[in-house]
A and B are shown apart, each in its own frame.
Chain A
């Protein structure tokens, strides 16, 4: 290699290894620049919790999605890209408040969330139900039928079930507090283990 001149050796530059730190630094700069230019339509991060890794995503309006690992976070991001905007970046700072409140919740130091929410992933009756779910207080439960009555549509028991099953903001919008009339768990987007964990957590507090 003695004939390589260091002045302009394109190939050395090309083949120099690119370490992960460099890319992490560039990514952080991109997030900063993109935020400053108002280009981050969806910011997301992931956090660890007693119910596994949770993905948190926010639009400028507020928290738009909480997703369990069993929902497949890559697929969740694809769906966000399709339904909201493909300008999706891992930008944890926008999720700082949400992450902190969720941590406090799992530490039993928080009984209600006061985060701005963006409910634009659900519509109509489902969104109506999801708006009312926070009225079920910490540590309490309601049946699907009671929730149907709560939203003024007592016959819509199955539709309430669907609204709970498609809740884009589990944990924060407490669909885990809705059970079947006979006390059975019903379904849960994060799996029945997660639902049990949340109910036990709130019962023990």
Chain B
């Protein structure tokens, strides 16, 4: 049974904004978010009732973000204002602060590839489109990043959880 679209916005709005920010930076993320939900609202009545709504929204957000990238031919991830350091607030689906600290310490390409791949669920081809370089290079960056994480972050215990 399909929910009122308002509930979809309330439930997934934050995640979609994080994905848009990951792909575009804070400044352009608002536009991509708006385009995403407008387009989603248009198509919503035809979405099968069994569909995974969040995955569907992230797919639309990715497409919108890539459109923005292509239109602007911009360097990826140029943003105007940045927080000083990662906070441990609200990474979707994870209170694994330590893990994100470990991700933060990866070299740039690896960190971006990991984030795009595992947060935004992008394909290696899509990552290559944003980071520049070949699909193979994107795949290697994600794989190297994952290997580094495995070395530096052997257990997935969230910070503060006593074992």
Binding site for B on A (CB under 8 A): 1, 3-18, 22-23, 26-27, 29-30, 33-34, 37, 39, 42, 44, 74, 77-78, 80-82, 85-90
Count, chain B residues at interface, CB 8 A: 49
Q: Find the A residue at minimum CB distance from B87.
A: A15
Q: Is the CB of B9 within 8 A of A12?
A: no
Q: Is the CB of A14 within 8 A of B82?
A: no
Q: Is the CB of A1 within 8 A of B86?
A: yes
Point out the residues of chain B lying under 8 angstroms from A17, CB to CB. Answer: 87, 89-90
Binding site for A on B (CB under 8 A): 1-7, 9, 13-14, 17-18, 21-22, 25-26, 30, 33-34, 37-38, 41-42, 44-45, 76-79, 82-91, 100, 103-105, 108, 111-112, 115-116, 119
Q: Is the CB of A88 within 8 A of B108?
A: no
A-B contact count (CB 8 A): 133
Q: Is the CB of A77 within 8 A of B79?
A: no
Q: Is the CB of A39 within 8 A of B6?
A: no
Q: Is the CB of B45 within 8 A of A1?
A: no
Q: Is the CB of A30 within 8 A of B37?
A: yes
Q: Is the CB of B82 within 8 A of A3?
A: no
Sample of 9 further A-B pairs with CB below 8 A, known A8-B78, A37-B38:
A9-B104, A10-B115, A12-B83, A14-B18, A15-B87, A17-B89, A26-B13, A39-B41, A85-B45
A12 to B21 Cα, complex, angstroms: 10
